[in-house]
């Protein structure tokens, strides 16, 4: 089943979004995160134990999500907050717009939120005549650039400081220098005034603690704190998968998250919000709304293999080590969550009709699973989704074109027959000779033409059996001596 996701970038449009600096900017940033993570993890002898506990808590929560969500709702309401359930992206957008209309909101400040990216909230707000401003520096940059994020935690990772300076100069009509400190100062000046005048603050959420109905925000910039305390109205849009049982669980995830994401012991700001401010003079908004977003998550929960994707704590460590992500960048994944986690989440959420290439966009090297702080078996889920694309299962029909499925079936049959394989490897060099040019195959007939459209194929080396016979004969002679 596919769910509406308004900001999907199609494969064909991908090239329009790729700045010239990919992959070098991505490689530079991700290698910094990888070495930072390694140092912090080495300081913690019980790291593997923590990973296992984190994984167990997430699995337990996934299996009992209805219980924890019900508890969460009761606790948020008891603390004076409002809870809204959104089955689809459209429902979530309408809920936020309705709240904004009721309070006559003209401008909104936002802290970084993947859930609002998922539902295309900025676009909906702008269409309704409400200014929506991203206040996380990376999100602010990509909002100016008019693109989506290219990394889960570092949205503008694909841009170098020179490109950001050029963007600021063009969009803000100033002469911005390529200096990170100066660029941050410029952004801060623009944003400070917006915080003061906004009618509504919108955030996502890293975790939702069912025990007390508390929203947890983990940030490094302090903008999240300003979005959620300066305006009188705070709306948090959070996926239902973010619920965790209690505060004790949180202590595990906070240790895993910062180390895996940025190589820090703890992120700079960890904020806890339990309902609106309760007393006159208490810091915080007067009204708090929590929008719990489903948008296909309930369906994914039914699949015992695929649902492990919801163990994710969105640290981005899998992308930082992925050899594919580092070379193609985030936009190639076609959706706002990129990297290995995107490759297992998008096909389940968007449907394999829309995102069937993603499970194949992996070398299955397993580096992602090795670093994942909550032990998500990413390669296993990738293979599970490949099977779904090729053969279909009880959750989705096969989406691979019939021609490719038939060809793969025939190839599988042929490879399993010894005599057929032997004849095939004898004939293959003759067939390849027709297409070979300078030891490459620049054009091949369908279905291999899908590959050669993009790059030439090396000729198949089908002489293994002959080579093996020679090796055996030589080693026989050697041992006879």
What are the residues binding ligand SF4 (CB under 6 A)?
A: 152, 260, 312-318, 341, 371-374, 376
Q: Is 85 exposed, middle or buried (0-12, 13-18, 19+ CB in 10 A)?
A: middle
Query: The tokens of 373 are what?
Result: 């702080």
Nearest to 147 by CA among 177, 180, 122: 122
- Hunting for tokens 């570092």 — which residue is that? 154
Q: Please say which residue, 130 or 345, places its beta carbon nearer to ligand SF4.
A: 345
Q: Please say which residue, 176 or 371, places its beta carbon nearer to ligand SF4.
A: 371
Minimum distance from CB of 45 to ligand SF4 (Å)?
A: 21
Q: Please say which residue, 260 or 267, places its beta carbon nearer to ligand SF4.
A: 260
Pair type for strands 214-219 and 131-134: unpaired
The residues near 340 (Cβ < 8 Å, ≥ 6 apart) are: 318, 319, 322, 325, 362, 368, 378, 382
Containing 82, the helix (H) or strand (E) segment is: strand 82-86
Minimum distance from CB of 84 to ligand SF4 (Å)?
A: 26
Containing 237, the helix (H) or strand (E) segment is: strand 233-239
Q: Please say which residue, 39 or 403, places its beta carbon nearer to ligand SF4.
A: 39
121 in Cβ contact with 7 (< 8 Å): no
Containing 200, the helix (H) or strand (E) segment is: strand 200-203
Minimum distance from CB of 215 to ligand SF4 (Å)?
A: 19
Minimum distance from CB of 375 to ligand SF4 (Å)?
A: 8
Q: How far apart are CA 16 and CA 172, in angstroms?
A: 23
- Provide φ and ψ at 220, rounded to 5°: -120, -5
Q: Please say which residue, 95 or 344, places its beta carbon nearer to ligand SF4.
A: 344
Q: How far is CA 112 from CA 135, 190, 363, in A?
A: 7, 17, 31
| Residue 209 CA, distance from chain mean position | 22
Minimum distance from CB of 468 to ligand SF4 (Å)?
A: 41
Minimum distance from CB of 262 to ligand SF4 (Å)?
A: 12
List strand residue ranges (DSSP E) for 286-334, in order: 287-293
Q: Please say which residue, 144 or 313, places its beta carbon nearer to ligand SF4.
A: 313
Q: Please say which residue, 144 or 371, places its beta carbon nearer to ligand SF4.
A: 371
160 in Cβ contact with 183 (< 8 Å): no
Q: Please say which residue, 81 or 316, places its beta carbon nearer to ligand SF4.
A: 316
């Amino acid at each position: 089943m596919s769910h509406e996701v308004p900001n999907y970038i199609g494969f064909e449009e991908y090239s329009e979004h790729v700045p010239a600096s990919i992959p070098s900017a991505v490689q530079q940033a991700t290698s910094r995160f990888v070495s930072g993570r390694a140092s912090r993890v080495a300081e913690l002898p019980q790291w593997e134990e923590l990973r296992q506990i984190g994984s167990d808590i997430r699995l337990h929560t996934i299996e009992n999500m209805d219980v924890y969500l019900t508890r969460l709702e009761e606790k948020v309401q008891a603390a004076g907050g409002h809870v809204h359930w959104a089955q689809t992206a459209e429902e979530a957008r309408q809920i936020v717009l309705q709240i904004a209309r009721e309070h006559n909101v003209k401008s909104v400040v936002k802290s970084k939120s993947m859930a609002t990216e998922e539902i295309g909230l900025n676009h909906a707000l702008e269409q309704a005549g409400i200014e929506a401003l991203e206040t996380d520096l990376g999100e602010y940059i990509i909002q100016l650039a008019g693109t989506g994020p290219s990394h889960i935690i570092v949205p503008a990772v694909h841009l170098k400081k020179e490109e950001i300076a050029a963007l600021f100069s063009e969009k803000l009509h100033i002469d911005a220098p390529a200096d990170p400190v100066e660029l941050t100062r410029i952004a801060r000046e623009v944003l400070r005034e917006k915080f003061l005048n906004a009618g509504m603050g919108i955030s996502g959420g890293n975790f939702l603690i069912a025990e007390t109905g508390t929203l947890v925000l983990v940030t490094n910039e302090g903008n999240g704190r300003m979005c959620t305390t300066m305006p009188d109205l705070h709306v948090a849009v959070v996926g239902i998968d973010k619920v965790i049982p209690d505060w004790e669980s949180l202590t595990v995830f906070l240790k895993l998250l910062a180390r895996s994401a940025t190589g820090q012991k703890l992120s700079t700001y960890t904020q806890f919000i339990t309902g609106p401010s309760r007393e006159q003079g208490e810091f915080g908004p007067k009204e708090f709304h929590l929008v719990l977003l489903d948008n296909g998550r309930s369906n994914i929960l039914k699949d015992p293999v695929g649902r492990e994707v919801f163990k994710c704590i969105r640290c981005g460590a899998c992308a930082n080590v992925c050899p594919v992500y580092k070379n193609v960048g985030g936009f190639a994944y076609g959706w706002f969550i990129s990297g290995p986690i995107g490759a297992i989440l998008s096909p389940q959420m968007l449907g394999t009709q829309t995102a069937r290439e993603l499970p194949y966009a992996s070398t299955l090297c397993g580096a992602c699973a090795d670093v994942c702080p909550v032990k998500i078996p990413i390669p296993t889920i990738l293979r599970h989704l490949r099977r779904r694309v090729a053969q279909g299962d009880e959750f989705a029909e096969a989406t691979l074109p019939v021609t490719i499925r038939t060809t793969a079936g025939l190839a599988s049959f042929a490879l399993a027959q010894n005599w057929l394989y032997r004849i095939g490897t004898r004939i293959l060099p003759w067939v390849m000779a027709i297409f070979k040019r300078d030891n490459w195959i620049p054009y091949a007939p369908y279905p291999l033409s899908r590959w050669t459209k993009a790059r030439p194929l090396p000729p198949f080396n089908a002489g293994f059996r002959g080579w093996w016979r020679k090796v055996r004969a030589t080693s026989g002679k050697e041992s006879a001596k």
